Amino acid sequence: MAGSSRWVVIAGIATGLVLFAMSPREQERQPATPSSTVVPRRIDIPALKLTAPLMKLGLSAEGDVELPPYDKPGTAGWYTGSSVPGDDGASVIIGHVDTKTAPAVFYRLRELRKGQLVKVLRSDGETAEYRVDSVERVPKTDFPAERVYAEDGLRLITCGGSFDWAHHEYRDNVIVYASRAGNDPRT
């Protein structure tokens, strides 16, 4: 995901503009803010046999969304500007697809299918469960900011598509959209 943080920030700015443009009634609704004491600790994706720790990701001094460090390829990160998984609002978790030498935490993310379960263990002992609604690959230049940052649900994001050797980054993002399992009549 090298270099992709700039696109995530651009998406965040676009989201802010979308929220600002909403009707007054929508503006009165305050976005969900993460509790200062409850944070996501671990993500489990049974279909991928994936269990990974989560770290907090904020914004860098340049305003870019931080990414998990490359020296921790098995760790994903929860963007603290999003809701805590299990709370109302959009929850965003970011992970690398690979490093220079090996696959990383979200290497198989593109293999998820509709209806598969994603669990996020929280620091309060609760487990937020989500079912995958869809998986899409989109060019970073067409990042769907409103859908990712403004709609309820869990969003898992990594890089994908072909690699741009000139810019040392992938050209696309793979995004998993998931809704709370409690909202699904199958559960």
**Mean per-residue pLDDT of the chain:** 84
Which pTM does this prediction carry?
A: 0.80
Summarize pLDDT for 44-102 with one digit per residue, the tens: 999 999 999 999 999 888 887 799 999 999 999 999 999 999 999 999 999 999 998 99
Lowest mean pLDDT among 11-15, 80-84, 156-160: 11-15
Phi/psi zone of residue 145: left (φ > 0), alpha (ψ -120 to 50 degrees), beta? alpha
Host H or E run for residue 164: strand 153-164
In sequence order, which ranges of 22-121 are alpha helices (DSSP H)? 24-28
Mean pLDDT of 109-131: 97
Fold of the domain spanning 5-29+38-183: Sortase; Chain: A; (2.40.260)
Q: Where are the domains of the chain?
A: 5-29+38-183
